[in-house]
Structure 1
């Protein structure tokens, strides 16, 4: 575990895929209603609860905090049955909260629409030409793990992995970089003529994540707090970059808390 010698607030920043339906661009098949999935979710929550968080934040809009915590309190009354309606939030974050005696959860999400597929649209449209760097754009699109063949091999087995194994893979540093690349940075190689169609859309996604980080900083906390963040991998990746430079926070090693004991 990282030291806290400068009185920074420790943060366990965990990236996940979204269980069940998601409006995001990327989704993963996961049967949250199966007993195996519920058992695996509890096992993951038990590992993450070793961090002993005092504050838990999730991918919900802050305006829904009352609704979020009403569901959390209902779960605390009957923890024998996992609530699956809110996917990873209710299946993992609620259980981490229960095991850690956390009173309430916070949503820090912010919604902004952007066209993550503008590059693909240009590539598929004969009358349009990517005038910036189509070679690099297509390399990131078609061979994102070129420099990390070991990650590519593990990706091939993704559907056969347990939930814990999936989350270990999702939280690898190379996966964090991939997530920023595929959701935003590859658009910096896309534009029509002298335009900035790619960069302008990437900027919206950057802005969304900066707003998410600002929402995190709205939560009252002291140097005695310990913050657990559970969000989609792309948001986790951006938060990692902000937290690394922060005078306020100190990240712990997520992968250490995903080790079975």
Structure 2
């Protein structure tokens, strides 16, 4: 009888161990290279300045010390994973991962030199001794440029509503940027209030831009969810039971969506950056 009890207890322990959730550290960021493509315009931070670089060192060191993630996911097209692999293979061996003299446009150099994919993602993965960095983006066209035209046609909301939201977003972003330390800026970007407001604009504003038979608003919202769901599925299908801790680095808008998905996913345990650094 004792042997049977011991066997049952062992099986229960094995089952419980197998149900252990994977910790997900979600970091919503601004674009360090600030290409200016987002509707909301903001001031720039120079990520190459010494105090920004020191902050990046401290942030990545704290993540590694506490969690040492086995996988780092970044907002790079998943279809171009092999290209990202080549960049990271050079980076982790201390070699130049891009050739500045081959880039003809200023924004290209800024992208490779300043973008959070390389400045934060690559740095963190290398310190964690990861063999690769995982691409998760699924780019899709979002026709925000039609907003005012559709608002004028449908008259379901005021034409100026979108611009008002954009101005509010820009002001909030600049308020976060006023903080000196990069860690504090990222914490500001990732508060529950900020993420909820970022996500809320799709329901409070965009989804109202419908007038039979034109459902531009709902199609826009559905497209946004569709893109993020595909991105999230890449993460779901890439992690394994051997992963204890992973990191997701995406723009704030994506982070607002990812947070919702992670909370609903029984495999994952959401770790807020305020609990990390």
Which protein has the bigger helix share? 2
Which range is displaced more, 18-27 or 67-76? 18-27
- What is the TM-score of this pair, normalised by structure 2? 0.75
Structure 2: how far apart are the matches of 1:153 and 1:25?
14
How do 1:17-28 and structure 2 match up within 5 A?
A: 17-22=30-35, 23-26=37-40, 28=42
Q: Is 1:203–2:222 an aligned residue pair?
A: yes
Using a 3 Å threshold, how does the CA distance of structure 1 residues 201 and 241 change in structure 2: closer, same or farther? same
How do 1:97-176 and structure 2 match up within 5 A?
A: 97-123=125-151, 128-134=152-158, 137=161, 141=165, 156=175, 158-176=177-195
Equivalent residue for 1:148?
A: none
Equivalent residue for 2:12?
A: none
Equivalent residue for 1:42?
A: 57
Structure 2: how far apart are the matches of 1:47 and 1:216?
23
Give aligned pairs, total: 244
Using a 3 Å threshold, how does the CA distance of structure 1 residues 68 and 117 change in structure 2: closer, same or farther? same
- What is the TM-score of this pair, normalised by structure 1? 0.79
Using a 3 Å threshold, how does the CA distance of structure 1 residues 184 and 233 change in structure 2: closer, same or farther? farther
Equivalent residue for 1:94?
A: 122
Which range is displaced more, 194-203 or 179-188? 179-188
Larger radius of gyration, structure 1 or 2? 2
Structure 1: how far apart are the matches of 2:54 and 2:211?
50
Q: Unaligned regions of 5+ residues in structure 1, if any?
A: 146-151
1:242 to 233, 236, 261: 261
Structure 2: how far apart are the matches of 1:153 and 1:137?
17
Q: Unaligned regions of 5+ residues in structure 2, if any?
A: 1-16, 98-110
Displacement after TM superposition at 1:190 (Å)? 1.9
Using a 3 Å threshold, how does the CA distance of structure 1 residues 224 and 34 change in structure 2: closer, same or farther? closer
Structure 1: how far apart are the matches of 2:59 and 2:164?
31
